[in-house]
A and B are shown apart, each in its own frame.
Chain A
Amino acid sequence: MPISSRALAVSALALLLAACGGKKSETTPAPAAEEPVVNVYNWSDYIDTTVLEDFTKETGIKVNYDVFDSNELLQTKLLSGKSGYDVVVPSGSFLEKQIQAGVFQKLDKSKLPNLANIDPAIQTATAKHDPGNEHAVTYFWGTSGVGYNIDKVKAAMPNAPVDSFAMFYDPKVIANFKKCGVTILDAPDEVVATVLLYLGREPMSEKAEDLAAVEKVLLSIRPFVREIKSSGYLDDLANGEICVALGWSGDVGQGKSRAEEAGKGVKLQYNIPKEGAIQFFDMLAVPADAPHVGNAHKFIDFMLRKDVAVKNTNFVTFASPNAAARDAINPEITGDPSIYPTPEVAAKLSPNLARSQEYTRELTRVWTRFKTGK
């Protein structure tokens, strides 16, 4: 049908012109002619998608939304240059290195009035990754800890220390769960830091003796670990394939709901270990070569708005840094100490800082030996 397709093309062109015209008349002093598009690259299952529709409705800016599931993947795209993304969401320790590599531009804070909503304590914490909070704003934060199937753990070990890293790092304890299945996150720096916490050592230590001690622990528990992975463990927990996972906090809320969907009566729980935990911050940032810088700022500011933060938090069940939104969030989330820890527990959280290139290499060797059990 050649006629109708040509008609379609013409009307599309007309629409495009109209859209451009409309935009110009709305924002009179348009700085540079930026097309009404913003390209966003975020973690999977990490937004209430109706928020994107609301953004387009209010600003006329179309959102191209794309997702990833590992920091390493995002980093590789960013370090290749010209990723084409306007807003990306790396975690703090990765962001820290990426800032040094010149990946991000400084945010124009005059365009982010809703920045005032962010909890100053969170800003202080993330300044360790991003000095002066110049390049990024926290989107959500969380911890890594013990996720487990209540009934299966009780059956395998009645007095299991479910509030401790001993669940994973004490061979006598983890041996009990070999049969029902254990997974560990495939996040080398983060997991090594949790072993150091368990050993009562400085979690960000780069000392060779500390790494050697970690390796000893990891190799001793290797026979009892079924898989080392960062995605998919949620489903495994939810359908009873495994019974204990070293996992990320907010994922459990989603795991619980998936278990309910499956309807097999699987009950899941997440605990922040008593030894402390590693705290991660996922941060909104704008690449230095972003094609739509103005729209990127509009998008970030929208995410920081109180009502939007409430909507997102209720959906993703991670902790929001948005202080203004806190009272309006579903109390089941804000009241859950595994998501919003009590001040005593919060004091024991340490951020996951970036390590040196030399240490990363040593760490990866240890990690590979752990994975291969050699």
Chain B
Amino acid sequence: MAARGLRLGRLLVIGVPMGWLLLFFLAPFLIDFKISLSEVRLAIPPYAPLLEWADGKLVAMHLQLTNYRYLFTDSLYVSAYGYSLQVAAVSTLLCLLLGYPMALGIARAEPARRNLLLMLVILPFWTSFLLRVYAWMGLLRNNGLINNFLLWAGVIDTPIQMMQTDFAVYLGIVYSYLPFMILPLYTNLEKHDGTLLEAAADLGAKPLAAFLRVTLPLSVPGILAGALLVFIPVVGEYVIPTLLGRPDQLMIGRVLSDEFFANRDWPVASAVAMMMLVLLVVPIVAFQRLQNNAAHAR
């Protein structure tokens, strides 16, 4: 009786997230995959059905792999994927370089001050993300606050072009995603046993050596979690590069929206999305293996 109750409990515990994933990940994924194999047409919805039924029998099946082939016939898609990955990788690195010292600082602060510092990290979320990006536009534009101040102070005579540059994109992304790096890093660093560092010091390690040989290796899971939380959403980022970025360098999110809205081509848009998913699955699998290896090593 007790064993059965336990089994039921386990089933429930696993069942809820599984059901969630089925409903909100697998089902949309399959729908998307189906659309990516169909043909565009002028109707509601704007693609042809994959299967044709007549008298309860399957009459025809129209599978179109052309949508995927199409992605390789034009250099646009490959270059957009490449640029997205580049932006995501560089932003992740920048977030790590900025976020690690901050997370470490918060974790080593007095317990009473930690909550305040954490609050400061989370505080920007109280304002809409879109509003904050617009605020950056107000700061960076040629007629904006920064340029006007520098002009007034006599540091420059012509405004510095900051909007529509890679600089603006990286600034916007790093600013927006930094908390996603800090929070998992903090959770990891905060759990470290302080006596390990004392032991290292007793055995003659300088603070830097202790950090490199004790703290850093122990924080790898936190680094990986933070890196994924930044990397994955940045690959598909649409708003920041559209508002702050160069018009001559497209990220995949923009290409996807153009296919969907401007071309009215849902099948190709779905194919672009599927390819993006493939690109993202690779780092996730790599992460899983790293974590497994780490677990085995212990």
Q: Give the CA-CA distance A22 to B181 in the complex, in Å.
A: 59
Interface of A is mostly: helix
Neighbouring A residues of B292 by C-beta, 8 Å: none
Size band of the A side of the interface? Answer: 20 to 34
**Contact, CB under 8 Å: A102 / B43:** yes
CB distance from A348 to the nearest CB of B (A): 28
Q: Give the CA-CA distance A318 to B264 in the complex, in Å.
A: 28
**Contact, CB under 8 Å: B46 / A79:** yes
Tell me the residues in window 178-196 of chain B with beta carbons closer than 8 Å to chain A beta carbons: none
Choice from A79, A226, A227, A228 contacting B44 with Cβ under 8 Å: A79
Neighbouring B residues of A75 by C-beta, 8 Å: 261, 264
B283 within 8 A of A: no
B55 within 8 A of A: no
**Contact, CB under 8 Å: B74 / A102:** no
**Contact, CB under 8 Å: B262 / A364:** yes
User: Contact mask A57-94 → B, CB, 8 Å, 1/0?
Assistant: 00000000000001011011011110000000000000
> Which of B18-26, B85-93, B243-251 is near enough to bind chain A?
B243-251
Neighbouring B residues of A188 by C-beta, 8 Å: 262
Q: Give the CA-CA distance A327 to B264 in the complex, in Å.
A: 41
Of chain B, the residue at the smallest CB distance from A81 is B44
CB distance from A80 to the nearest CB of B (A): 6
User: Contact mask A214-232 → B, CB, 8 Å, 1/0?
Assistant: 0000000010001110000
Choice from A78, A240, A357 contacting B143 with Cβ under 8 Å: A240
**Contact, CB under 8 Å: B264 / A100:** no
Tell me the residues in window 339-374 of chain A with beta carbons closer than 8 Å to chain B beta carbons: 357, 360-361, 364-365, 367-368, 371-374
**Contact, CB under 8 Å: A365 / B249:** no
Neighbouring A residues of B247 by C-beta, 8 Å: 227-228, 371-373
Choice from B164, B258, B264 contacting A227 with Cβ under 8 Å: B164
Choice from A361, A372, A373 contacting B265 with Cβ under 8 Å: A361
Knowing A228-B247, A360-B264, say if A79 contacts B40 (CB, 8 Å): no
CB distance from B214 to the nearest CB of A (A): 48
Of chain A, the residue at the smallest CB distance from B40 is A357
A274 within 8 A of B: no
Q: Give the CA-CA distance A101 to B265 in the complex, in Å.
A: 14
**Contact, CB under 8 Å: B258 / A102:** no
Q: Give the CA-CA distance A367 to B142 in the complex, in Å.
A: 26
B76 within 8 A of A: yes
Knowing A103-B44, A371-B248, say if A239 contacts B143 (CB, 8 Å): yes
CB distance from A74 to the nearest CB of B (A): 10
Q: Give the CA-CA distance A368 to B263 in the complex, in Å.
A: 11
Size band of the B side of the interface? Answer: 20 to 34
A241 within 8 A of B: yes
Q: Give the CA-CA distance A373 to B74 in the complex, in Å.
A: 15
Q: Give the CA-CA distance A247 to B206 in the complex, in Å.
A: 65
Choice from B42, B45, B143, B249 contacting A372 with Cβ under 8 Å: B249
**Contact, CB under 8 Å: A372 / B44:** no
Q: Give the CA-CA distance A97 to B249 in the complex, in Å.
A: 31
Neighbouring B residues of A97 by C-beta, 8 Å: 42, 264
**Contact, CB under 8 Å: A101 / B43:** yes
B260 within 8 A of A: yes
Of chain B, the residue at the smallest CB distance from A97 is B42
**Contact, CB under 8 Å: A101 / B46:** yes
Q: Give the CA-CA distance A371 to B141 in the complex, in Å.
A: 20
Q: Give the CA-CA distance A59 to B50 in the complex, in Å.
A: 46
Neighbouring A residues of B263 by C-beta, 8 Å: 360-361, 364
Neighbouring A residues of B258 by C-beta, 8 Å: 364, 368
Choice from B40, B43, B141 contacting A241 with Cβ under 8 Å: B141
CB distance from A181 to the nearest CB of B (A): 8
Neighbouring A residues of B42 by C-beta, 8 Å: 97, 100-101, 357
Of chain B, the residue at the smallest CB distance from A226 is B164
**Contact, CB under 8 Å: A372 / B250:** yes
Neighbouring A residues of B143 by C-beta, 8 Å: 239-241
Neighbouring A residues of B46 by C-beta, 8 Å: 79, 101
Choice from A101, A102, A240, A373 contacting B248 with Cβ under 8 Å: A373
Of chain B, the residue at the smallest CB distance from A188 is B262
Q: Give the CA-CA distance A72 to B262 in the complex, in Å.
A: 6
Tell me the residues in window 167-221 of chain A with beta carbons closer than 8 Å to chain B beta carbons: 181, 188
Q: Give the CA-CA distance A119 to B248 in the complex, in Å.
A: 44
Neighbouring A residues of B250 by C-beta, 8 Å: 368, 371-372
Q: Give the CA-CA distance A222 to B45 in the complex, in Å.
A: 36
**Contact, CB under 8 Å: A81 / B265:** no
CB distance from B72 to the nearest CB of A (A): 15
User: Contact mask B140-180 → A, CB, 8 Å, 1/0?
Assistant: 01110000000000000000000010000000000000000
Neighbouring A residues of B260 by C-beta, 8 Å: 76
Of chain B, the residue at the smallest CB distance from A360 is B263
Neighbouring A residues of B248 by C-beta, 8 Å: 222, 371-374
Neighbouring B residues of A70 by C-beta, 8 Å: 261
Q: Give the CA-CA distance A222 to B233 in the complex, in Å.
A: 31
**Contact, CB under 8 Å: B45 / A81:** yes
CB distance from B43 to the nearest CB of A (A): 5
A372-B247, A372-B249, A372-B250 provided; 13 other pairs, C-beta below 8 A? A78-B44, A79-B43, A79-B44, A81-B44, A81-B45, A100-B42, A101-B42, A101-B46, A227-B164, A241-B141, A357-B42, A365-B74, A365-B76
Enumerate chain A interface residues (CB-CB to B < 8 A).
Answer: 70, 72-73, 75-76, 78-81, 97, 100-103, 181, 188, 222, 226-228, 239-241, 357, 360-361, 364-365, 367-368, 371-374
23 contacts between A and B (CB under 8 A): A75-B261, A75-B264, A76-B260, A76-B261, A79-B45, A79-B264, A80-B44, A100-B42, A102-B43, A226-B164, A227-B247, A240-B143, A241-B141, A241-B143, A357-B264, A361-B263, A364-B258, A364-B262, A368-B76, A368-B258, A371-B247, A371-B250, A374-B248
6 smallest CB-CB distances across A and B, nearest first, come from A72-B261, A373-B248, A81-B44, A101-B42, A372-B248, A79-B46
